[in-house]
Every structure is written in C-alpha cells, then in structure tokens.
Structure 1
Amino acid sequence: MTLEHLNITIVGAGIGGLAAALVLRRLGAQVTVLEQSEAVSEVGAGLQITPNGMAVLRALKLDDALAWCSQRARAVVLRGHRRGQEVLRLDLDQYAADLRYYCVHRADLIGLLVDGARDAGVQVRLLQKVDRITATAGRPVVHLANGAQCGGDLVIGADGLHSQARRALNTPQKPQFTGQVAWRAIVPNHSSLPPEAQVFMGPGQHLVAYPLRDGSLVNLVAVQERSTWAEESWNFADDPDNLRRAFSSFGGAAQQLLAQVRDCALWGLFRHPVAASWHQGGVALLGDAAHPTLPFMAQGANLALEDAWVLGACLEEAATQQRDLTDALAAYQSQRQNRAERVVQAASGNAWKYHLRAPLQWPAHQVLKLGGALAPQRMVAQFDWIYRHDVTAQATATQAAATQG
C-alpha cells in the first residue's frame, strides 16, 4: 500500500474520475470524490470501450462484469446512406481475434466503477458544486459553491469540458466550432441489429448505430455538417422530428431506426486544444479536462481510463523511489500528453471520410471495397497504435498492487 500517506480529492464522478479513485484507493490512498449531481448517474447514451480501455478494466478486474452487461462488437460495417448497402466490413473476429471491443451503456460502466470504488473504501460526496480550485505551493484548495472548502495532498480535476481545475492551471482558450453537430438517442432494437457497429455514410452527414446491453437497445449518434452551431452540452434536448428531417435522405435500416426516436439530445462539436499544463501546485488534470476529443475515434472514455492507470503508476513509482509529488505529476504528463495529442488529432481528422459528396463519394467507396477485398487485415490494423496500446503492460508493478484487495 504505497500511497497510504496521500489524501486525494477527485472532482467529478465520471468514468475517468471513478477509475482514478479505484486505482488510487487500491494503491492505499485516502480518496474522496466530489460530484455536483444528486446521484452518480449518466444520461442515456452508449459508448465503445476499445481494447486499450479494456486493458485497464481487466487490470481492475471489471472486464467480466462489463462483458455481462454489454455487447462485444464483432465487426465495423460501413454502409451507403440511401439503401444501407454494405461498402466495407471490418471483421474484428477474423482479423483482430485477440482483441475485445465492447458497446456499453454509459450508465452501466459508471455503475460498475462507482460500486467498485465504494467497495474499496472511496468516499463519494454528492451535491458538491465546485466554484473554483486554487493551486498553491502548499496544499491545493477546492472552493465549493456553498462556501465550504476541502482539498488534500492532491486534487485531481476529472471535471470534463468545463473544468474548474483546467481553468486554475491554464489560460482559457476559446474552442473552435467544427461546423458539425451531433444528436444522441437510444431506441429499441426492433430491427434486430447484430453486435456490430454500423456506420451509414451520407453527403455531409453520417449515422452510427450499435446495440447495447442484451441487444434489446440501439445507440444512435447522428452527425451533420452545418454552418450554425448548437450548444456544447450533452443535455440539450431537441425535437426528434428535427433529427428525422436532417436525415430524411437516409433509407433502409437507418430510416427504421430514426423512426423510433422519441427523445434525443443535440450538441455542437468543438475542437479544444490539449491542455498545455496538466499539473501545478498539487492539482492534476485527467480525461476531458486535459484533452477533450471529438467522438470520431470513440476514445474519450478510453483515454480517461488510460490516464487513471498511468497516474496511479507514476504516483506509486515516485513513492517507491522516495521522490516528491511534483516529480510524479511531471512523469504523468510526460507519458500521457503526446499520446493524447495524437489521438485527438486522429479523431479530428476522421469525420470527413464519412461525409463525402458527389463526385468523390462513389469512387471513394469503391476504393474502400477494393481495400477490404485485397487487404482486409491492413484495413483492420490501421489504428493498432490506438487500440493495441496497453498502459497496464508498461507498469506491471502498479498492476500487481492495484489488483490486490
């Protein structure tokens, strides 16, 4: 229990914050999580846990539990938008048989993490709205909206896009609207979609669909290019008819799925720079607070899981070698920043491939078909640098300590 000397406060009970709480508590730290909501829960939405994120959940012994409440993705299928005709099938079972990709309801993953954290002895305090965070040469201070203060030896800002912790460490920078908005919805799986990620590609827009839980639900993410921007929020409710009108040219299974939408959320997609400073004065950033990413590589949650593990490993190594907290946090940023920047850049550059218009769309789809026929292994392996990255294999000492209990 190498971190038993540390008292840590984590701001935000999302995926990254709860994963960090579990890692750090199992390493011996006293951990408190502050959550501004009245309950640790998530709005209805799905996400993809790719092998790099699964490596962390496996090290935390949560992989079997996740498998029971999610769908293992067997393939990624790219389709045309009008009739849903198959353009390219990336068969994960055949060409990435050693890897595991899962489609999970966000609330289910949050539930696994918060139960694990509480069982390990993490204190989760609800209705704790943070007004600001002060990073000082001494102990950092979290100032709550009700006037109270708390802190510890280390404060971790896992508080998302509008992070108070990031604001304490970095000069605010205005995000850049991408010219794209996205709708999210969950519908019944009346179309009997198989456990595959379906991507319907249209001019200036695309729709992603994949099943959740026992296969009875389907998660939808619909992205459209537009000149005006929508509010950057996960909880901006929109009229489902607006979604259906925006994607009225989509046919086949896509149209059947859209017809079932009863509730949906809409938000604008913005590019945020990766934070220049991830730590200062006993405050550190994690997940979206450090590196917000667009959803086009499905890496937001997975990067946060990686961050949580690496932060624990760096703190443990520093404690073992009797180095101070600043050294540990500097090592954490050094190990994570370049990778985060590269993944964020890849996500930013990926959406256009699904939005091609005539006359480029048809020949581009033919090239995809040819690539799938002649070099399917290469097509599947093009992002191995993301998916085969295993932070737990790079910190075996931390893995052994964190999986005890």
Structure 2
Amino acid sequence: MPAVNRVAIAGTGVAGLAAAIQLAKAGVDVDVFEAKPDLSALGSGISLQGNALRSLDALGVWDAVRAAGYAFDGLTLRAPGPDAPVVAQLPDVKSGGPQYPAGMGMPRPALAAILYAEAERAGAHIRCGSRVSGFTQTESGVHVHVDGESVGDYDLLIGADGLHSTIREAIGIDTKPQHTGMGIWRAFVSRPAEVERTELYYGGPVYIAGYTPTGDDSMYAILVGDAQEHFGASEDEARALMLEQTRAYGGPWESIRADLESGAKAHYTWFTQHLVAEPWNRGRVVIIGDAAHSCPPTIAQGAAQGLEDALVLTELLATRSEVDQSLWDEFHARRIPRARMVVEASVQLGQWQLEHNRDADAGGLIFSVSQKLAEPA
C-alpha cells in the first residue's frame, strides 16, 4: 500500500508528468494543476542522454519516444571555417546502459505530448489554466487552493513548477536561479542528410555552435555566447542576429542559414544555475525538477535530472508505508549529491569557456560525469 492516497502536483514539465504517471500507476489519486492554458512546450528541440532514456523506459514511454526522436551514438567536433573540417569523432558513454543509444534528439512538444498522454492513460487528472494559489499544511496533509478556490485535502503537494517556482517561494526557500553569464540561441530547422549525430564547433564568433538531429527531417541548432539583451528582439531581428553569428561556420550551417532566411524562428535564453540545499521538502510539500535545481545544458542533463527526481520520489512513496523522515532522508541522499554533481560540472564547463581556458579538460569532465550517471539514481 503506498504511503499516499491522494497527491497534488503543480506543473506539467517532464518532472511533474513523470511523477503523475508513476503515482497513478501505483493506484494513487493524482491531480495535476498547470497554470498555462494548454500544454504547449516552449523551445525547439531537446537532447536526451542515455540516463534520460532509461528513465523514460521506466515510465513506459520508451517505444513512443524512440519513434518520435532521432537516436545516435557519438559526437562530432568540427572547426570554424568555410569547409567546417571535422576535428574528431568521439564516442559517447551509454549512460543508460547498452540497451539504449548514447543520446537522442527530439522536438520538445513531442516529448510533452507523449508524457501527457501516458499520464492521462495512467489515470492522472490534468487541469490546465489552473494555478496553485495557496495551501495550508497539517501534520498529515495539505489543503490546496487553486485560483483562490479550495480543491480539497491531499497527502502531498509536489512542486514541479519550473525555474520560477511559486511553490518553492511559498514554502520559504529563497534560493533562486542565477545567471551564469552565457546565453543561447536556438532554432528548429531541417536536417541535412549528412547530420547523423550532435556536432559541435568550438571557437569562432561564439563559444559553441552546434546542432542535434531530432527526426528524419528536423534538427535544432544552437549558438552559445556571452549573455546579451536580446529578449525584446522581433522575430525578424532575432533571425538576423542568429544569422550574423553563424557566418563563420560552413558545412551544414549553409542549410541552417537557408532555413533562417526562409522564416525559421530563433529563440534566445540565458543559462542559469541553482541548487536548493537539503531539504527540498517542508512538511508535506516538496519541490523537484527545475524548481529544485537548474544548470546550463552543457552536458544535456536538465530533463534527465528532473525525470530522476520524479522516479526516486515516486518509488519511495509507492514502496513505503508512510511519509516520514526516513523517506525524506533517503530521497535527499539519492538525489542531492547527484544533482549537485551535474550542476557543478555543467557550470564549470561554461566557466572554462568564459575564461577562454584552452587547457581545461572538458572531455575528461564530461566522460567522468557520464560514467557516474550510468549508475541508476
């Protein structure tokens, strides 16, 4: 018998939907509240490392994810210049195990739709346009309000409401995402046949230029540089800014530029980092995913770590008889050191770029972290 009978979840990102899927499959009554009016996912594409694929398999959605994404092994490094010469072909650590590819790219909206469908199939109740506006705790539960109205009593409230989590703030945690000094352009474009894995270019006008295939006919391209105030740019201005910064890169960038000139949208964000110190819960309210930690996408672990948060938490809730301190102690012991490792490594990789540190062993750090992530959370 699970430790909980009724759970409320704030947020429908990967962490929130993963928690909803696992709890509903365990027989728990789950209500998911999403402040946005629909489940449209922002952004272009997403990179999923092997440990993320292992987590998605645990949720029962691996077949759907595999069909919707583009699997690959290895990493190609190229140099700037008109011919974009290949510098190295590097193998990836299969951090999910030998039964999964080292990595996969897929459109973010496709992943969101797969998780949403699985959560509904499992029996979770999802309400969009519904913001958790307040709650009061007792020793044994949480009384939740949504949009100012009472929605009842729950055994647990899970705050999976993202970087700017209102649940995090409401339980008195003042840790917030901090900018790292770097920003990223992203664009969703067509995939040239020659692009079969992630390819990265180091140097040139930006720190990192690259792209990842997300399907037979699609990929997303990135440019990583110093943080700039590009948030007020119009769509045409954003495309022009991204185009200008790609001029030093040849090869498949010719195709990317053609798509941008034809109207592909360019999206800009800043890198952030934070890690909430133990505990992530206050009584019967707990935060997971981006609400608890964030990091630059330098090793593509944001979604993976949110998925692992959800799987560890729901495993404990489904196998323990009560929500007590020993449950929280095990949850924090299994999650915080791992999340800290990922955050610190991701930030370090970016910092080396900001410092123009050519002697840093970026490959060694990535390989070391990947080996550790190969061990299940």
* TM tier relative to shorter chain: 0.7 to 0.9
Query: Which residue of structure 2 aligns with residue 218 of structure 1?
Result: 219
Query: Which residue of structure 1 aligns with residue 202 of structure 2?
Result: 201
Query: Which residue of structure 1 aligns with residue 346 of structure 2?
Result: 347
Aligned length: 369
Specify whether residues 267 and 26 from structure 1 end up closer, same or farther in structure 2 by C-alpha distance, changes over 3 A only.
Answer: same
Deviation per CA, 1:68-109, whole angstroms, max 9, x where unpaired?
Answer: 111111221111122421122113499985542211111111
AA matched with 1:272: H
**Superposition map of 1:3-402 within 5 A:** 3=2, 5-83=4-82, 84-92=84-92, 98-100=99-101, 101-173=103-175, 175-189=177-191, 191-203=192-204, 204-213=206-215, 215-226=216-227, 228-229=228-229, 239-261=238-260, 262-319=264-321, 323-351=322-350, 381-391=367-377
Q: 2 CA distance for matches of 1:313 and 1:11?
A: 19
Q: 1 CA distance for matches of 2:138 and 2:342?
A: 31
**SS of match in other structure, 2:141:** coil
Specify whether residues 267 and 136 from structure 1 end up closer, same or farther in structure 2 by C-alpha distance, changes over 3 A only.
Answer: farther
Q: 1 CA distance for matches of 2:366 and 2:10?
A: 37
TM-score by length of 2: 0.87
Task: Answer yes or no: is the 8 Å Cα contact 1:176–1:272 preserved in 2.
Answer: yes
Give structure 1 stretches of 5+ with no counterpart.
372-377, 392-405
**Which of 282-291 and 161-170 deviates more?**
161-170
AA matched with 2:371: W
**1:239 to partner: Cα distance:** 1.7
Q: 2 CA distance for matches of 1:329 and 1:129?
A: 26
**SS of match in other structure, 1:260:** helix
**1:264 to partner: Cα distance:** 1.4
Q: 1 CA distance for matches of 2:94 and 2:330?
A: 38
Q: 1 CA distance for matches of 2:10 and 2:134?
A: 11
Q: 1 CA distance for matches of 2:187 and 2:197?
A: 17
Q: 1 CA distance for matches of 2:316 and 2:129?
A: 31
Task: Answer yes or no: is the 8 Å Cα contact 1:92–1:380 preserved in 2.
Answer: no
Task: Answer yes or no: is the 8 Å Cα contact 2:345–2:365 preserved in 1.
Answer: no
TM-score by length of 1: 0.81
Q: 1 CA distance for matches of 2:366 and 2:177?
A: 32
Specify whether residues 131 and 172 from structure 1 end up closer, same or farther in structure 2 by C-alpha distance, changes over 3 A only.
Answer: same
**SS of match in other structure, 2:213:** strand
Q: 1 CA distance for matches of 2:292 and 2:94?
A: 36
Deviation per CA, 1:220-242, whole angstroms, max 9, x where unpaired?
Answer: 1221114x4555x9x99662101
**SS of match in other structure, 1:220:** strand
**Which of 216-225 and 256-265 deviates more?**
256-265
Q: 2 CA distance for matches of 1:207 and 1:295?
A: 13
**SS of match in other structure, 2:129:** coil
AA matched with 1:268: W
Specify whether residues 90 and 109 from structure 1 end up closer, same or farther in structure 2 by C-alpha distance, changes over 3 A only.
Answer: same
**1:123 to partner: Cα distance:** 0.4
Task: Answer yes or no: is the 8 Å Cα contact 2:4–2:155 preserved in 1.
Answer: no
Task: Answer yes or no: is the 8 Å Cα contact 1:155–1:283 preserved in 2.
Answer: yes
**SS of match in other structure, 1:272:** strand
Q: 2 CA distance for matches of 1:263 and 1:40?
A: 20
Q: CA RMSD in A?
A: 3.0
Task: Answer yes or no: is the 8 Å Cα contact 1:275–1:291 preserved in 2.
Answer: no
Deviation per CA, 1:42-62, whole angstroms, max 9, x where unpaired?
Answer: 124211221211222222221
Q: 2 CA distance for matches of 1:93 and 1:349?
A: 20
Specify whether residues 30 and 54 from structure 1 end up closer, same or farther in structure 2 by C-alpha distance, changes over 3 A only.
Answer: same
**SS of match in other structure, 1:24:** helix
**SS of match in other structure, 2:130:** coil
Q: 2 CA distance for matches of 1:242 and 1:156?
A: 39
Task: Answer yes or no: is the 8 Å Cα contact 1:343–1:386 preserved in 2.
Answer: no
Task: Answer yes or no: is the 8 Å Cα contact 2:186–2:221 preserved in 1.
Answer: yes
Specify whether residues 115 and 25 from structure 1 end up closer, same or farther in structure 2 by C-alpha distance, changes over 3 A only.
Answer: same
Task: Answer yes or no: is the 8 Å Cα contact 1:45–1:105 preserved in 2.
Answer: yes
**1:381 to partner: Cα distance:** 4.5
Task: Answer yes or no: is the 8 Å Cα contact 2:278–2:332 preserved in 1.
Answer: no
Q: 2 CA distance for matches of 1:54 and 1:236?
A: 36
AA matched with 2:333: S
Specify whether residues 387 and 208 from structure 1 end up closer, same or farther in structure 2 by C-alpha distance, changes over 3 A only.
Answer: farther
